[in-house]
Amino acid sequence: MNRRVTTAVRMGVREFRRTPVLLALLVFLPAYIIGAFVLLVPDVDVPATIDGTRVAVPMTDFAAAFMTPVTVAILSGIVGLFLVQTSQAADDRLRLAGYTATDLVVSRVGTLGLGIVVVTMASVVVAVFAFTPESTVPFVAATLLVGLTYGILGVVVGIVLGRLGGVYVMLFSPMVDVLLFQNPLATDAPEWTKLLPSHYATNALFDAAFTSSIDVWDFGGAVAYTVGLLVIGVLVFYQATDVE
């Protein structure tokens, strides 16, 4: 990584640090969402479809595992949205100062990645207080993939739709995709829901949460989806910043 990129990432991190309210929110909101559901749901078993099999899982464990990707998707999406919105003016100046297109893209992806890691870690820490995933490392990896997917989506939406429209879309999308259509309680999920952004990552996450097996196909699909979105995001970013 060259010096220009590290400088830009460092400045991005410094900007994060200068807004303690943001950092506090990124840590507090996962605790609020996941903690509230774990504490408030009834103490019963629910039938969920995990790895293609209908099994009974405790509602509190289910709530902790399920609200983790929901939380990470919402927070990462909004962070991605505003990261690109707030950095657009700076990017134009950096370009004039000699930054190449690759420098800018790598810098912004790096800063976004750091934000998503913070959100993921905060959410996973809260979740593991409530339940122990069967496979912890794959659980964290799948959560990170959900965050990356929605972080990149937030960037694309931020560039294409602007702030207000972008917030509307990023408010609805994780709820619809993760909460409604990737919900293991469902029995008749339509086929097209497999095309939604979090499908493979949440499948991998629920497998990791409740089984000791790792579904390579789901992880592979999630990684492919994330890489595909990243390519789209980079193209949209190039177009928006008019680099080269």
Partner 1 sequence: MSTVHRTLAGIQASTRSFVREPFTVVLLVVLPALSIQIYGIGMGQFPDVGVFAVSGSVATVGRITGAVFATGALAGVLGLFQMISARHADRRLAICGFRGVELVTARFATVAVASAVVSVVATLSLIVLVDDPIRAPLAAFGGLAIAGAIYGLLGIVVGSVLPRELEGSLLLVILTDVDNVFASGLFGIEDSITQFAPLAHPHAIVTEAVVEGALATGHLVPALGHLSLFALLSVAAYTYQLESGGDA
Does the footprint of partner 1 cover residue 50 (CB under 8 A)? no
- Smallest distance from partner 1 to CB 135, Å: 25
Does the footprint of partner 1 cover residue 136 (CB under 8 A)? no
DSSP assignment string, the chain: --HHHHHHHHHHHHHHHH-HHHHHHHHHHHHHHHHHHHHHS-S-EEEEEETTEEEEEEHHHHHHHHHHHHHHHHHHHHHHHHHHHHHHHHHHHHHHTT--HHHHHHHHHHHHHHHHHHHHHHHHHHHHHH---SSHHHHHHHHHHHHHHHHHHHHHHHHHH-HHHHHHHHHHHHIIIIIIIT-TT-S---GGGGGSTTHHHHHHHHHHHH-S---HHHHHHHHHHHHHHHHHHHHHHHHHHT--
Footprint (CB under 8 A) of partner 1, residues 62-81: 63, 70-71, 74-75, 78-79
What is the pattern of x (binds partner 1, CB under 8 A) and - over residues 78-117? xx--x--xx-------------------------------
- 47 or 220: CB nearest partner 1: 47
- Smallest distance from partner 1 to CB 236, Å: 17
Q: How many residues belong to the site for partner 1 (CB under 8 A)?
A: 50
Residues that bind partner 1 (CB under 8 A): 19, 21-22, 25-26, 29, 32-33, 36-37, 40-42, 44, 46-47, 59, 63, 70-71, 74-75, 78-79, 82, 85-86, 161-165, 167-168, 170-172, 174-176, 179-181, 183, 185-190
